């Protein structure tokens, strides 16, 4: 018999083991990592072989990650108080779980004995809470209590998988050869048993999920998302023990196989099976983007097959350039970066989940460097690494939009773990600075310390982030930031339409000031489970957000549109609309914010919200936890019911029969489109006209709750009312100990007169302060003409000065504010000092502002056409000589305002017809072409292209325009001006590579709007 010389390690190469040895010799951290691995391995090695084999659950035993939506049969939801997965499991008590509320055990029968009977002898199902694996049923309950399945799931997850991983680690780091053999023996034994079962695990027929929720929910022993645990725990462990198989005669005798046979048994039934489940389109292993790709990279590294499919090359191809993706999370990284990540670097989910994309892809990029594949040079990948810096406001907050964070908005930029491997290849000063904050974060036993490379990188000491106004034009999120670093006031306006982990929150506006999130968002719901009624009825519902609810319904969501963004000066502006938020109901749904800086510590926010259409408008605003008050005062607290009515109790689905009749938590609530008003209680209301003042005075956080800056801190909302009802109401945030019991909303309600459509112009001036307020009062300004297309406020300051803020949706129209004060423009702000002299003024996208002795003139926003775009240098040539110095860098030029409406950031003016956009990426999709369908004037691709919109330009692989995206199946091409489509339009690459397409959002022929801005500040 040939020696087993071929059973070598592929991941733990001699080079990698030499790095380990050097690290252990030189560094205490390496010795403590090794010691921790040895201790974990030793813990598992103390169990005898039979015990370790017994913790690998056979496929015929069902699995469940939850016992029951309602907790314990005896203690109910009290069992969920500390979290959903807190039932006790112990290796000393096989097949029993312990209630976290009462400590009692379930099930009542000995399931081990029943399993030993082949799950046949039902006389063994004894006692009050007997469970045959498929759960115990409480009489009258539609769903079961899954004691055994819960045990099976969490045993595999928290014991079996960690045991295999720990024993593998111990086998590789242990210097004592005999001990190493023992660890390897136990690890290999478990791998063998798992390989026996692994092909037969089928989640969609063997789980609570399948039986009670969705018979098509995929996975293996666990669901498709968590199934990555299997390759993550076993791949390197297998590699560690592989050379030791041949010498383990006890193991070979037990398995009845030769070392080669056992090796192939584990490779095929466990590791290749996991790879197949990931890449074969069956979606049995499929997690968030990048996660299963990371697992696959491990499998490719240890298998190194070139003859047995899937080969390691096939796995790498799946990761980098998957030729046959069937769902977006399977698109290869190269195409995902262009087609799934927005061109501003943001992935297509909520900010919280976008972090997952960045960290997964950063980890893959770090691993691919070993294979000489360098994604750090890719400019889109660089933006994917740097958005976590730009997404911060006031230098410390991350807006809790969609499924992200909580109302306190705590956040941090890129983590050192992601920054450390990136820094040497992409020495962005922010990335380098983060890496330097914690060089040890990247220390791994088998890699040279990352700190070695940091010394050679450029200085990064005085780099800051999250303190300047920033816009993500493709994601649709614009920040205004004023004041000095440390005492900033910042606003965030969301006008985008990303698809993943969304809330129905378009035109949501958040405000940060006084070291707090002052107008905020509840953020991540308690659960994203479809049966969580609170998530679908309230946490994600429109009324929970700082926007306008139309006709007591959740928004529909649709594309948003930026009208202006002015990120500099004493009065910064953002102006956006989202009529698609209530498609078919509204003809106008637009919000403009002007952030006015008075001093380094004092700023106020002017907020104008325009809504045309529908019968009822509810403007909603969620402050920080506070005592609220209103002047004039509101009525007494409504004793019974909720905002939905005195007869509507909390959480009752009063406006959707489908959900109203069944107990909460027993069905999927994804179809709820109602108001969510039943979650607002302690309602106080008053019908008011004219100016009013609503105030949140922050209250002291309770013990154990998240602490925040509250002493003397308040937010005043100066309301310019027009036949409105002002409503104060409370709601409950997530039921976590760290959250306050209630949170405080202000609503402004307008209702249409009988038989009429409603038009609303909500004007609010927000004044965040500590101890002393600085606005005396805010008064409405009567505009002439009174056409409803413009709004203005007169803000009388405590120091005797007076500011005016103006906004218009018809910038060409001249409005008279008062005798001698006229404006024609999109936004204007000007102010008088205490002596009545004009001290400041600004005019955005306007032609003329006259106020006393101040006159500001400018050309106004002008329209031109793009003549050419140099995509490599970031230069746009326009048809008309409209570009001139002085120039304000950072403004947005609007592209194709009448079709897909996107915008580019103006970085500089080259000459009157040439604009620089720096390194801004204009690509919104790219991929290999599957077919050119000449008869339908369309191309097909396997890549998901969620960001392309009608009217955008389709380029071939040579970046030559081939027409515009037309309506119809993706990707139909409107060939006007290009002639009929043929395959020649999309030639192969110069190197003979497969024909490709790219879609861009700025190309010759597109309309472009050039903004204008003029400012006066008295010295």
Query: What residues line the site for Zn ion (CB under 5 A)?
Result: 72, 74-75, 99, 101-102, 503, 505, 521
Measured torsion, CA atoms of residues 649, 650, 656, 661, in degrees rounded to the nearest 10: -70
CB of 557: closest distance to Zn ion in angstroms?
A: 13
CB of 522: closest distance to Zn ion in angstroms?
A: 6
Cβ proximity to Zn ion, 734 vs 810, nearer residue: 734
Q: Is residue 951 within 8 Å of residue 899, measured between CB atoms?
A: yes
Tokens at 997, concatenated:
């397409």
Cβ proximity to Zn ion, 102 vs 281, nearer residue: 102
Report the residue number whose CB is nearest to Zn ion: 99
Q: Is residue 679 within 8 Å of residue 617, measured between CB atoms?
A: no
Cβ proximity to Zn ion, 87 vs 238, nearer residue: 87
Cβ proximity to Zn ion, 503 vs 684, nearer residue: 503
CB of 876: closest distance to Zn ion in angstroms?
A: 35
Burial degree of 944 (CB within 10 A; 0-12, 13-18, 19+): buried
E strands within 28-104? 97-98
CB of 540: closest distance to Zn ion in angstroms?
A: 6
**What angle is formed at CA 346 by the lines to CA 342 and CA 348, rounded to 5 degrees?**
70
Q: Is residue 95 within 8 Å of residue 148, measured between CB atoms?
A: yes
CB of 139: closest distance to Zn ion in angstroms?
A: 18
What is the pairing mode between strands 802-808 and 908-911? unpaired
CB of 324: closest distance to Zn ion in angstroms?
A: 36
Cβ proximity to Zn ion, 86 vs 777, nearer residue: 86
CB of 508: closest distance to Zn ion in angstroms?
A: 7
Measured torsion, CA atoms of residues 995, 998, 1004, 1007, in degrees rounded to the nearest 10: 150
Q: Inter-axis angle of helices 177-197 and 161-173, to 10 degrees?
A: 150
CB of 556: closest distance to Zn ion in angstroms?
A: 16
Q: Is residue 470 within 8 Å of residue 387, measured between CB atoms?
A: no
Reduced to 3 states (helix: H, G, I; strand: E, B; else coil), residue 912 is coil
Alpha carbon 927 to its chain's center: 24
CA distances from 763 to 609, 718, 745, 750 (A): 7, 9, 17, 13
Closest CA to 235 of 198, 288, 182, 207: 198
Query: Phi and psi at residue 22, in whole multiples of 5°?
Result: -65, -45
Number of CB atoms found within 10 A of residue 454's CB: 19
Q: Is residue 166 within 8 Å of residue 43, measured between CB atoms?
A: yes
Cβ proximity to Zn ion, 352 vs 569, nearer residue: 352
CB of 76: closest distance to Zn ion in angstroms?
A: 8
What is the pairing mode between strands 489-494 and 477-482? antiparallel
Cβ proximity to Zn ion, 99 vs 783, nearer residue: 99
CB of 133: closest distance to Zn ion in angstroms?
A: 20
DSSP state of 733: -
Contacts 24+ apart (CB under 8 A), 813-820: 813/785, 813/787, 813/789, 814/848, 815/783, 815/784, 815/785, 815/790, 816/783, 816/784, 817/781, 817/783, 817/792, 818/781, 820/850, 820/851, 820/852
Cβ proximity to Zn ion, 209 vs 540, nearer residue: 540
Measured torsion, CA atoms of residues 110, 116, 118, 119, in degrees rounded to the nearest 10: 10
Alpha-carbon distance of 518 to 624, in angstroms, equals 5
CB of 525: closest distance to Zn ion in angstroms?
A: 9
Cβ proximity to Zn ion, 73 vs 569, nearer residue: 73
CB of 521: closest distance to Zn ion in angstroms?
A: 4
Alpha-carbon distance of 616 to 586, in angstroms, equals 11
Cβ proximity to Zn ion, 503 vs 749, nearer residue: 503
Q: Is residue 544 within 8 Å of residue 581, measured between CB atoms?
A: no
Reduced to 3 states (helix: H, G, I; strand: E, B; else coil), residue 19 is helix
CB of 969: closest distance to Zn ion in angstroms?
A: 33
Cβ proximity to Zn ion, 87 vs 375, nearer residue: 87
CB of 734: closest distance to Zn ion in angstroms?
A: 12
Cβ proximity to Zn ion, 169 vs 546, nearer residue: 546
Cβ proximity to Zn ion, 62 vs 402, nearer residue: 402
Number of CB atoms found within 10 A of residue 958's CB: 12
Cβ proximity to Zn ion, 99 vs 792, nearer residue: 99
Alpha carbon 751 to its chain's center: 35
CB of 212: closest distance to Zn ion in angstroms?
A: 20
Alpha-carbon distance of 477 to 346, in angstroms, equals 10
CB of 716: closest distance to Zn ion in angstroms?
A: 24
Cβ proximity to Zn ion, 505 vs 597, nearer residue: 505
What is the pairing mode between strands 923-928 and 914-916? unpaired
Cβ proximity to Zn ion, 87 vs 997, nearer residue: 87
Alpha-carbon distance of 794 to 798, in angstroms, equals 13
CB of 555: closest distance to Zn ion in angstroms?
A: 11
Alpha-carbon distance of 470 to 889, in angstroms, equals 12
CB of 75: closest distance to Zn ion in angstroms?
A: 4
Cβ proximity to Zn ion, 80 vs 847, nearer residue: 80
Number of CB atoms found within 10 A of residue 650's CB: 13
Alpha-carbon distance of 941 to 931, in angstroms, equals 7
Element holding 318 (H helix, E strand)? helix 312-321
Cβ proximity to Zn ion, 101 vs 478, nearer residue: 101
């Amino acid at each position: 018999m040939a020696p087993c010389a071929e059973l070598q390690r592929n991941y733990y190469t001699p080079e990698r083991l030499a790095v380990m040895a050097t690290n252990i010799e030189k560094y205490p951290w390496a010795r403590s990592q090794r010691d921790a691995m040895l201790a974990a391995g030793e813990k598992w090695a103390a169990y005898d072989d039979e015990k370790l084999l017994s913790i690998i659950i056979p496929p015929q035993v069902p699995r469940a990650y939850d016992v029951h939506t309602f907790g314990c049969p005896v203690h109910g939801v009290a069992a969920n108080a500390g979290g959903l997965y807190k039932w006790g499991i112990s290796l000393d008590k096989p097949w029993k779980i312990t209630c976290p509320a009462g400590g009692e055990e379930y099930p009542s029968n000995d399931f081990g004995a029943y399993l030993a009977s082949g799950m046949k002898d039902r006389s063994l199902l004894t006692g009050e809470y007997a469970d045959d694996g498929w759960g115990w049923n409480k009489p009258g309950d539609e769903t079961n209590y899954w004691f055994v399945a819960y045990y099976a799931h969490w045993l595999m997850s928290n014991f079996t998988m960690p045991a295999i991983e720990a024993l593998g680690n111990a086998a590789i780091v242990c210097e004592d050869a005999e001990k190493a053999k023992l660890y390897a023996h136990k690890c290999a034994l478990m791998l063998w048993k798992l390989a026996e079962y692994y092909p037969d695990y089928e989640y969609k027929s063997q789980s609570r999920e399948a039986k009670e929720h969705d018979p098509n929910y995929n996975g293996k022993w666990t669901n498709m998302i968590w199934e990555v645990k299997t390759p993550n725990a076993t791949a390197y462990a297998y590699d560690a023990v592989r050379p030791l198989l041949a010498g383990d005669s006890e193991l070979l005798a037990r398995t009845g196989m030769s070392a080669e046979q056992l090796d192939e048994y584990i490779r095929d039934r466990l590791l290749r099976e996991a790879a197949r489940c990931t890449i074969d389109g069956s979606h049995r292993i499929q997690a968030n983007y990048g996660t299963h790709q990371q697992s696959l990279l491990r499998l490719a590294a240890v298998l190194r097959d070139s003859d047995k499919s899937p080969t390691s090359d096939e796995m790498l191809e799946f990761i980098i350039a998957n030729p046959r993706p069937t769902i977006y999370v399977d698109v290869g990284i190269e195409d995902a970066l262009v087609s799934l990540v927005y061109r501003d670097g943001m992935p297509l989910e909520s900010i919280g989940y976008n972090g997952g994309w960045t960290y997964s892809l950063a980890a893959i990029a770090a691993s691919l460097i070993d294979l000489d594949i360098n994604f750090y040079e890719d400019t889109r990948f660089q933006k994917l690494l740097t958005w976590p810096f730009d997404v911060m406001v006031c230098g410390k907050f991350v807006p809790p939009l969609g499924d992200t964070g909580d109302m306190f908005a705590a956040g941090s930029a890129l983590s050192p773990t992601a920054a450390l491997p990136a820094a040497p290849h992409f020495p962005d000063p922010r990335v380098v600075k983060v890496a330097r904050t914690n060089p040890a974060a990247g220390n791994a036993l088998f890699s040279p310390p990352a700190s070695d490379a940091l010394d050679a990188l450029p200085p990064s000491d005085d780099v800051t982030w999250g303190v300047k106004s920033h816009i993500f034009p493709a994601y649709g999120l614009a920040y205004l930031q004023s004041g000095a670093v440390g005492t900033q006031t910042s606003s965030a306006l969301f006008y985008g339409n990303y698809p993943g982990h969304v809330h129905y929150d378009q035109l949501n506006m958040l405000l940060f000031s006084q070291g707090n999130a002052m107008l905020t968002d509840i953020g991540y719901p308690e659960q994203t489970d479809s049966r969580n009624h609170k998530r679908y009825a309230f946490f994600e519902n429109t009324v929970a957000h700082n926007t306008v609810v139309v006709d007591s319904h959740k928004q529909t969501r649709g594309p948003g549109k930026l009208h202006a963004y002015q990120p500099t000066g004493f009065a910064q502006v953002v102006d956006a609309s989202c009529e698609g938020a209530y498609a078919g109901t509204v003809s106008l749904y637009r919000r403009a914010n002007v952030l006015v800086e008075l001093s380094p510590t004092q700023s106020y926010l002017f907020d104008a919200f325009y809504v045309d259409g529908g019968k009822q408008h509810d403007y909603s605003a969620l402050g920080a936890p506070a005592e609220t008050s209103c002047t004039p005062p509101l009525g007494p607290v409504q004793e019974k019911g909720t905002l939905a009515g005195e007869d509507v109790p909390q959480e009752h689905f009063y406006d959707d029969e489908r959900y109203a009749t069944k107990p909460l938590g027993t069905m999927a609530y994804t179809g709820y489109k109602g108001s969510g008003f039943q979650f607002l209680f302690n309602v106080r209301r008053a019908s008011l006209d004219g100016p009013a003042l609503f105030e949140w005075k922050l209250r002291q956080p309770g013990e154990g709750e998240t602490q925040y800056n509250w002493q003397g801190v308040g937010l005043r909302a100066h309301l310019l009312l027009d036949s409105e009802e002002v409503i104060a109401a409370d709601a409950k945030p997530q039921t976590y100990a760290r959250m306050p019991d209630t949170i405080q909303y202000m609503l402004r309600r307008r209702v249409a007169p009988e038989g009429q459509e409603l038009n609303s112009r909500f004007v609010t001036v927000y004044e965040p302060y500590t101890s002393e307020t600085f606005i005396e009062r805010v008064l409405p300004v009567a505009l002439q003409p009174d056409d409803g297309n413009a709004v203005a406020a007169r803000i009388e300051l405590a120091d005797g000065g007076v500011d005016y803020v103006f906004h218009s949706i018809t910038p060409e129209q001249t409005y008279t504010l008062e005798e001698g004060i006229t404006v024609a423009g999109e936004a204007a702000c000007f102010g008088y000092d205490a002596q009545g002299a004009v001290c400041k003024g600004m005019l955005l996208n306007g032609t003329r502002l006259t106020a006393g002795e101040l006159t500001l003139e400018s050309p106004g926003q002008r329209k031109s056409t793009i003549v050419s775009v140099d995509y490599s240098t970031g230069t746009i040539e326009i048809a008309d000589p409209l570009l001139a110095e002085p120039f304000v860098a950072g403004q947005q030029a609007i592209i194709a305002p009448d079709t897909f409406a996107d915008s580019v950031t103006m970085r500089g003016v080259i000459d009157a017809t040439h604009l620089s956009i720096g390194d801004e990426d204009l690509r919104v999709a790219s991929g290999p072409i599957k077919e050119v369908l000449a008869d339908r004037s369309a191309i097909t691709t396997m890549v998901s292209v969620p960001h392309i919109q009608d009217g955008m330009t389709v380029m071939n692989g040579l970046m030559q325009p081939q027409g515009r995206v037309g309506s119809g199946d993706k990707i139909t091409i409107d060939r006007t001006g290009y002639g009929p489509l043929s395959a020649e339009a999309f030639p192969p690459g110069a190197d003979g590579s497969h024909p490709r397409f790219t879609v861009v959002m700025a190309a010759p022929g597109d309309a472009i709007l050039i903004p204008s801005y003029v400012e006066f500040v008295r010295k």
